[in-house]
Amino acid sequence: MSWAAHDLEPYVVQKHLGKRIAFVPLLVGSYAPDLLSKWFVYGITLIGVELKADNPAQFHRGWPGAGFTHSLAFGVVIGLLLYLIWRNKVVAYSFVIGQWAHALTDTGDTVGSMLLFPFTDHLFAVGAWAYAGQTGRYVDAGAYFSGLGFVWDGIFVVWALLSWRVLTRGYFRETVAVADPFWRWAGRYLSETTLVALYRASFFYGVARWTAWLIWAHVVRSFAFDLRWGGPRWVPRVYADELNAAPACKCPGCCSMRPRLGFYGVVAVCAWGKGRSGSVRAALAEAPRPRRRRKRLKGG
């Protein structure tokens, strides 16, 4: 699981898609997979009764369980429902993009997510940091902010800070509020200063709590840093092959390569694609533009 990445991903997406995305459904989509299940993973006590999943990792990411919320199909189904309700394509696909970002980000830990459910219950896991949700939220926080998880979140903190332009009041007024019907509705009741503060709230939350958890884990408490792949190794970890019915997955992803190699491969392909799109853009910019034929107006 990721802690601050889900707060910050929507701002990075917003920067790249501008008026083609609606921010509120994007943000709700980014939170959606954990919205109704996370409390049961960590457990709560209500009137002296403790409510907690018997197998938190299985409940959170597996099947049977609520792991279907981390599948790509779940985003599409909810997106279609939103489209049926609001008849607004931008709202629908903004939710899908946010939910997909969450599901893909959560493949980073040792449990991963069932991306292709219901076609397969295979858990796609890169295994970069330990899944330790079953240990309770404080140990989980300490473990996450001691392994590569906090580095991953740190990348999103930097990326979101580099996207500072999307936080400006002018950008909100000219891009965010124009593309998202929620802000037009809320603008009837709230001042622009309040709307802008609400728009920035997840950014504030993500950056501030990333900082606070790091200080808490390593200054207030003494959790040991362990930046090895799959770490920290001092915490009891859960692995993808311990969940779901199939003890050993036969899918090509599991048989042909190790997850770490797969991760490097994806990074290499993305870098290659980015470079290629840049060179294509440069070539297009340099190419002579064909002259457009002007329609002759018939004299009247």
Which residues inside 191-210 make contact with other proteins, applying CB under 8 A? 191-194, 196-198, 200-202, 204-205, 207-209
**Residue 164 makes contact with other proteins by CB under 8 A:** yes
Which residues inside 262-291 make contact with other proteins, applying CB under 8 A? none
Is the distance from CB of 185 to CB of 168 less than 8 angstroms? no
The position carrying tokens 């340099």 is: 286
**Residue 45 makes contact with other proteins by CB under 8 A:** no
**Residue 178 makes contact with other proteins by CB under 8 A:** no
Q: Which is nearer to other proteins, 159 or 239 (CB)?
A: 159
The 87-126 site mask, x for binding other proteins (CB under 8 A), equals: ----------------------------------------
Please choose, from the candidates 115, 145, 135, 109, the residue with its C-alpha nearest in 3D space to the C-alpha of residue 229. Answer: 109
**Residue 51 makes contact with other proteins by CB under 8 A:** no
**Residue 212 makes contact with other proteins by CB under 8 A:** yes
Enter the tokens of residue 152.
Answer: 């991953």
Q: How far is the CB of 1 from other proteins (least distance, A)?
A: 13
Phi–psi pair at 109, nearest 5 degrees? -90, -175
Q: Which is nearer to other proteins, 198 or 249 (CB)?
A: 198
Rg (CA), the chain: 22
**Residue 215 makes contact with other proteins by CB under 8 A:** yes
Q: Long-range contacts of range 221-227, CB-CB < 8 Å, 24 or more positions apart?
A: 221/142, 223/142, 223/143, 223/145, 223/146, 224/146, 225/146, 226/146, 226/147, 227/147, 227/148, 227/151
Distance (Å) of CA 293 to CA 33, 100, 242, 286: 52, 43, 65, 21
**Residue 216 makes contact with other proteins by CB under 8 A:** yes
Enumerate binding residues for other proteins (CB under 8 A): 7, 31, 137-138, 141, 164-165, 167-171, 191-194, 196-198, 200-202, 204-205, 207-209, 211-213, 215-216, 219-220
